[in-house]
């Protein structure tokens, strides 16, 4: 596969690509026909429920299961004393990325160790879900408690420098930023904090597990079925080819379903132990206790500039946390590395291990909270300088990557801000804080830059064309609502010149060609590369078939001169339909495959990283209204202008971008996971006390995109799943600063932080 797509970007607005096409799964989702992981009936299905530890660290000394076993309808209670063994999780290796899929290294029910408050320590299997849950409440674990460190604020001084990895460095130094800061004409030096967050996909994680000998079928709410399959095969010591993971529908993930967590393993284990098909649907509280969330952070951002607002010093350091058993340091300063031209840059990421459940990826890990800090600090510097915050950003827009010096693959932030300012009415903003009003409401307007790197992963794809004109595209990826299935069908329809209705895209099944996970905003571009490649091969195969037939109008035509349209291949007004080609060749169908090896992928990724920096970027515009009596903040208007390359489907893309902004508004104003500093217990493990935005919190969100293809990406497209949450919280904070004169450094911006 070539690494540039200049030839494809020219045709980026095809018959379907670029259009607002209805989702292919729309009817299934609006009629109740779409079945999720906990919705597959099996004869003899049993139900499992988890028992969670109530101490942060220690050893189990006993687990009293007598009362639970005495409940009518209980089939078994599994504990570390009687559960069949499970193999330990494989060590993380970048040569086999599937090793990243283990949420924690804990070997549940094969250990008496308790690593966090909420860790599963027993599983009840029963005839009904009600019985399982009730009996689980009767299981009494006894512990020997050990000292635990659970308080992030108290422990952050013990943080150590984070290690970088192949795709993300954890530190950067250019020039002498501290010295430059000390002598800067203008400067700000601020310390920010962000709380833990949870994904809170509305579908709680669920697994339905069915064994047949050594063959295993798992209906799973998963973001990466290929890795999940391999991981389950490894943990249960069975051949990978006998494991089938099915995730045709996933009720939201946002990173929370990107790893294999306790519920999945224990459902499979319980099915193995009882010989029954077992369903384990986590309770909402159970999700909090067994699925990691976003790390809290403390961040320092110090900026120095000359009198004109040109940065002379840029310092961004962070502390995040992992569990002592699992998790990864977050790339909090990763975006800052690429945002602003400054001769002196100092970036550091530190991490502290606590006796809490491992953290995990949540929509734009690192960048979402990192941009809150750096984009708030930029706004504060603009206030300090008396300079318009957009102008400050434009004066510091880099031509090449500020740290690495690479070319910027495609960056149109200037255009994004220009379009946004015009469309949002930025010129009506009185720069003085606290003076704009709407009736009694204080009004504020803020901006911030959005930034998220564009990545790709390997994807295997097959495309099959039948004599009846139908096209089946197969790739084992996951569709959590991003629009993946729809956009890949659009791409294939254009590539083969067939009606969209005749394309069926099969996904969500690990028996399909191995697809990319839904993560890193990489899935659409990754799969698109495979679809393009497979369609190209298919056209060549068809051309080969046609050329063998005497009298074919395609004889002598070169592949690159072909035009796929109207259900056939044409050149200069002459050609044949696919049906004619296949009939003449005596074939019922043709099929082509695109395969991407992991080694080639890694080599290419590393090479490309030396060549250029690719990212989706955007300009976020937020207007808030603040009640001057109670200091309640309401977001009243929003505009995001994004530079995300080619947009394949205007409708699903808009939803993806809006969705990130909605989550960003939640992060800004209301979301926080409360972890008790004494025992590491999550205190608000519910949707009633963890406040995700409701309808009434969300105004009209205007999303725009520049729609200029990035010639280094397939079809010129960039992933859009994460960019729009970045910068969002800062845009809110900056608007609140404008409305009230108050800079809130600590998320969420609740009214108590604006009072007094």
Partner 1 sequence: MKPFAYVKPADVEAAIQAAAQPGARFLGGGTNLVDLMREGIEQPDTVVDVTGLPFDTVDDLPGGGLRIGALVRNSALAADRRVRERYPMLSQAVLSGASAQLRNMATVGGNLLQRTRCPYFYDHASACNKREPGRGCDALDGFNRGAAILGVSASCVAAHPSDLCVALAALDAVVELRGQDGTRRVPLTDFHRLPGDTPEVETVLAPGELVTAVELPPAPVAANSRYRKVRDRASYAFALVSVAAALEVRDGVVTDVCLALGGVAPRPWRATEAERLLVGGPADESAYRRAAEAELAGASTRRDNAFKAALATATIVATLRELSTGGDPR
Partner 2 sequence: MTQIRMNVNGSVESLDVEPWVSLLDALRERLGLTGPKKGCDQGACGACTVLADGLRINACLALAVQYDGSEITTIEGVAHPLQEAFVRHDGFQCGYCTPGQLCSAIGMLAEYEAGMPSAVTPPGAGAYELSESEVRERMSGNLCRCGAYNGILDAIMDVAGEEGTR
User: Which residues are marked as active site?
Assistant: 722
Minimum distance of partner 2 from residue 61's CB (angstroms): 32
| Encoded tokens for 684 | 């608000």
Q: 360 contacts which partner out of partner 1, partner 2, none, CB within 5 to 8 A by kind?
A: none
Per CB under 8 A, 281 contacts partner 2: yes
CA atoms within 13 A on the CB side of 122: 29
Asked whether 319 and 210 are in contact (CB, 8 A), the reply is: no
Minimum distance of partner 1 from residue 281's CB (angstroms): 14
Measure the CA–CA gap between 363 and 459, rounded to whole angstroms: 21
Strands 568-571 and 574-577: antiparallel
Minimum distance of partner 1 from residue 72's CB (angstroms): 9
CB atoms within 10 A of CB 748: 21
Minimum distance of partner 2 from residue 436's CB (angstroms): 21
**Total interface residues for partner 1 by CB under 8 A:** 40
Q: Which of 28, 45, 129, 134 binds partner 1 (CB under 8 A)?
A: 134
Say which residue the tokens 């904090």 belong to: 193
Is residue 574 classed exposed, middle or buried when 0-12, 13-18 and 19+ CB atoms within 10 A define those classes? exposed
Measure the CA–CA gap between 215 and 249, rounded to whole angstroms: 22
Q: Which of 95, 147, 202, 560 binds partner 2 (CB under 8 A)?
A: 202
State CA 161 to chain mean position distance. Answer: 25
For the four alpha carbons of 165, 171, 174 and 175, in that order, the dihedral sign comes to: negative
Minimum distance of partner 1 from residue 695's CB (angstroms): 7
- Provide the mask over 453-472, with x wherever binding to partner 2 is found by CB under 8 A and - wherever it is not: --------------------
Measure the CA–CA gap between 6 and 407, rounded to whole angstroms: 17
Per CB under 8 A, 27 contacts partner 2: yes
Strands 437-438 and 186-194: unpaired
Strands 437-438 and 441-453: antiparallel
Per CB under 8 A, 140 contacts partner 1: no
Q: Which of 37, 647, 685, 728 binds partner 1 (CB under 8 A)?
A: 685
Q: Measured at the alpha carbon of residue 101, what is the angle toward residues 283 and 719, in degrees to the nearest 5?
A: 95
Per CB under 8 A, 423 contacts partner 2: no
DSSP character string of 644-674: -B--SBHHHHHHHHHHHHHHHHHHHHT----
Q: Which of 195, 251, 517, 567 binds partner 2 (CB under 8 A)?
A: 251
Pick the closest to residue 162 from 402, 285, 322 (CA basis). Answer: 322
Per CB under 8 A, 449 contacts partner 1: no
Stretch near partner 2 under the rule CB under 8 A, chosen from 319-327, 549-557, 603-611, 691-699? 691-699
Stretch near partner 1 under the rule CB under 8 A, chosen from 151-159, 436-444, 456-464, 592-600? 436-444
| Encoded tokens for 99 | 């090793």
Per CB under 8 A, 71 contacts partner 2: no
Minimum distance of partner 1 from residue 686's CB (angstroms): 7
Q: Which of 232, 663, 668, 739 binds partner 2 (CB under 8 A)?
A: 663
C-alpha distances in angstroms, 291 versus 53, 90, 198, 204, 330? 14, 19, 9, 10, 16
Stretch near partner 2 under the rule CB under 8 A, chosen from 539-547, 623-631, 657-665, 676-684? 657-665
Q: 117 contacts which partner out of partner 2, partner 1, none, CB within 5 to 8 A by kind?
A: partner 1
Minimum distance of partner 2 from residue 679's CB (angstroms): 23
Minimum distance of partner 2 from residue 29's CB (angstroms): 3
Which of positions 337-356 make contact with partner 2 (CB under 8 A)?
none
Pick between residue 200 and residue 594 the one whose CB is nearest to partner 2.
200
Q: 634 contacts which partner out of partner 2, partner 1, none, CB within 5 to 8 A by kind?
A: partner 1
588-623 per-residue burial string, b: 16 or more CB within 10 A, e: under 16: eebebbbebeeeebbeeeeebbeebbbbbbbbbbbb
Q: Which DSSP letter does residue 562 get?
A: -
Pick between residue 32 and residue 213 the one whose CB is nearest to partner 1.
32
Per CB under 8 A, 22 contacts partner 1: no
- Provide the mask over 628-667, with x wherever binding to partner 1 is found by CB under 8 A and - wherever it is not: -xx-x-x---------------------------------
DSSP character string of 295-348: PPEEEEEEEEE-TTS-EEEEEEEEEEEEESSS-----TTTTHHHH---S-EEEE
Max CA-CA distance within the chain? 88
Per CB under 8 A, 688 contacts partner 2: yes
Pick between residue 127 and residue 697 the one whose CB is nearest to partner 1.
697
Measure the CA–CA gap between 748 and 55, rounded to whole angstroms: 28
Per CB under 8 A, 755 contacts partner 1: yes
Measure the CA–CA gap between 713 and 710, rounded to whole angstroms: 6
Q: 418 contacts which partner out of partner 2, partner 1, none, CB within 5 to 8 A by kind?
A: none
Minimum distance of partner 2 from residue 448's CB (angstroms): 18
367-378 per-residue burial string, b: 16 or more CB within 10 A, e: under 16: bbbbbbbbbbbb
Asked whether 38 and 208 are in contact (CB, 8 A), the reply is: yes
CB atoms within 10 A of CB 435: 13
Q: 652 contacts which partner out of partner 1, partner 2, none, CB within 5 to 8 A by kind?
A: partner 2
Pick between residue 457 and residue 631 the one whose CB is nearest to partner 1.
631
Q: Which of 58, 120, 204, 513 binds partner 2 (CB under 8 A)?
A: 204
- Provide the mask over 688-727, with x wherever binding to partner 1 is found by CB under 8 A and - wherever it is not: xx-x-xxxxx------------------------------
Per CB under 8 A, 439 contacts partner 1: yes
For the chain, state the CA radius of gyration: 27
Measure the CA–CA gap between 45 and 168, rounded to whole angstroms: 44
C-alpha distances in angstroms, 742 versus 380, 579, 584, 633, 756? 10, 68, 75, 13, 11
Q: Which residues bind partner 1 (CB under 8 A)?
A: 54, 117, 130, 133-134, 137, 438-441, 627, 629-630, 632, 634, 669-670, 674, 676-679, 681, 683-686, 688-689, 691, 693-697, 750-752, 755-756
Q: Which residues bind partner 2 (CB under 8 A)?
A: 22-23, 25-32, 34-36, 38-39, 41, 128-130, 134, 199-204, 249-254, 281, 283-284, 480-483, 651-652, 654-656, 658-663, 686-688, 692-696, 698, 700-701
């Amino acid at each position: 596969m070539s690494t540039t797509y200049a030839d494809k970007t020219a045709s980026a607005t095809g018959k379907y690509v670029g259009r607002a096409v209805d989702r292919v799964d729309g009817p299934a989702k609006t009629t109740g026909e779409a079945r999720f992981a906990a919705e597959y009936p099996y004869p003899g299905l049993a139900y499992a429920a988890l028992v969670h530890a109530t101490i942060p660290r220690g050893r189990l000394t006993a687990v009293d299961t007598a009362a639970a076993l005495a409940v009518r309808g209980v089939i078994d209670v599994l504990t570390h004393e009687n559960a069949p063994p499970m193999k330990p999780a494989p060590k993380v290796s970048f040569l086999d990325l599937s090793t990243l899929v283990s949420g924690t290294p804990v070997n549940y029910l094969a250990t008496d160790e308790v690593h966090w408050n909420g860790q599963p320590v027993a599983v009840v299997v029963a005839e009904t879900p009600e019985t399982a849950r009730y009996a689980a409440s009767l299981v009494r674990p006894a512990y020997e408690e050990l000292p635990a460190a659970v308080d992030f604020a108290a422990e952050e001084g013990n943080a150590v420098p984070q290690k970088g990895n192949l795709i993300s460095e954890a530190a950067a130094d250019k020039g002498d930023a501290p010295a430059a800061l000390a002598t800067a004409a203008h400067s700000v030096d601020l310390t920010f904090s962000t709380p833990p967050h949870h994904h809170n996909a509305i579908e709680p994680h669920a697994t339905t597990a069915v064994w047949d000998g050594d063959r295993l079928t798992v209906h799973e709410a998963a973001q990466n079925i290929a890795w999940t399959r391999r991981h389950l095969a490894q943990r249960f010591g069975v051949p990978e080819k006998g494991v089938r993971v099915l995730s045709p529908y996933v009720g939201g993930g946002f990173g929370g379903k990107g790893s294999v967590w306790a519920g999945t393993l224990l459902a499979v284990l319980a099915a193995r132990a009882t010989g029954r098909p077992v369903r384990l649907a986590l309770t909402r509280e159970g999700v909090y206790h067994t699925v990691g969330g976003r790390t809290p952070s403390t961040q320092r951002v110090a900026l120095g500039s000359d009198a004109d607002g040109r940065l002379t010093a840029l310092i961004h350091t962070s502390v995040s946390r992992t569990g002592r058993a699992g998790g990864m340091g977050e790339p909090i300063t990763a975006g800052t590395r690429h945002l602003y031209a400054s001769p002196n840059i100092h970036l550091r990421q530190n991490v502290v291990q606590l006796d809490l459940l491992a953290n995990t990826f949540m929509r734009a890990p690192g960048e979402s909270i990192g941009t809150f800090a750096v984009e708030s600090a930029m706004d504060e510097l603009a206030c300090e300088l008396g300079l318009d915050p957009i102008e400050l950003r434009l004066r510091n827009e880099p031509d090449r990557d500020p740290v690495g010096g690479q070319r910027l693959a495609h960056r149109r932030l200037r255009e994004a801000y220009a379009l946004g300012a015009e469309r949002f009415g930025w010129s009506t903003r009185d720069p003085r804080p606290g003076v704009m009003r709407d009736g009694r409401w204080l009004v504020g307007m803020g901006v911030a830059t959005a930034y998220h790197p564009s990545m790709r992963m390997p994807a295997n794809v097959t495309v099959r064309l039948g004599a009846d004109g139908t096209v089946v595209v197969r790739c084992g990826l996951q569709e959590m609502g991003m629009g993946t299935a729809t956009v890949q069908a659009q791409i294939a329809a254009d590539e083969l010149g067939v009606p969209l209705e005749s394309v069926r895209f099969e996904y969500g099944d690990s028996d399909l060609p191995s697809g990319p996970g839904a993560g890193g905003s990489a899935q659409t571009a990754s799969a698109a590369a495979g679809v393009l490649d497979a369609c190209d091969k298919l056209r060549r195969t068809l051309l080969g078939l046609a050329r063998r037939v005497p009298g074919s109008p395609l004889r002598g035509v070169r592949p690159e001169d072909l035009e796929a349209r109207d259900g056939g291949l044409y050149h200069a007004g002459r050609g044949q339909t696919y049906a004619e080609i296949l009939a003449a060749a005596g074939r019922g169908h043709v099929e082509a495959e695109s395969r991407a090896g992991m080694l080639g992928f890694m080599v290419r990724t590393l090479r490309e990283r030396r060549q250029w920096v690719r990212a989706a970027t955007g300009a976020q515009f937020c207007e808030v209204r603040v009640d001057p009596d109670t200091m309640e903040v309401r977001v009243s208007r929003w505009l995001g202008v994004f530079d995300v390359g080619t947009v394949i489907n205007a409708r699903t893309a808009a939803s993806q971008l809006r969705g990130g902004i909605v989550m960003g508004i939640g992060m800004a104003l209301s979301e926080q996971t409360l972890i008790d500093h004494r025992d590491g217990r999550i205190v608000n493990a519910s949707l009633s006390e963890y406040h995700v935005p409701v309808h009434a919190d969300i105004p009209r969100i205007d999303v725009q995109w520049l729609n200029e293809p990035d010639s280094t990406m397939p079809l010129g497209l960039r992933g859009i799943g994460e960019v729009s949450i970045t910068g969002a919280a800062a845009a809110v904070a900056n608007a609140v600063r404008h409305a009230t004169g108050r800079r809130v450094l600590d998320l969420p911006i609740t009214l108590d932080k604006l009072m007094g």
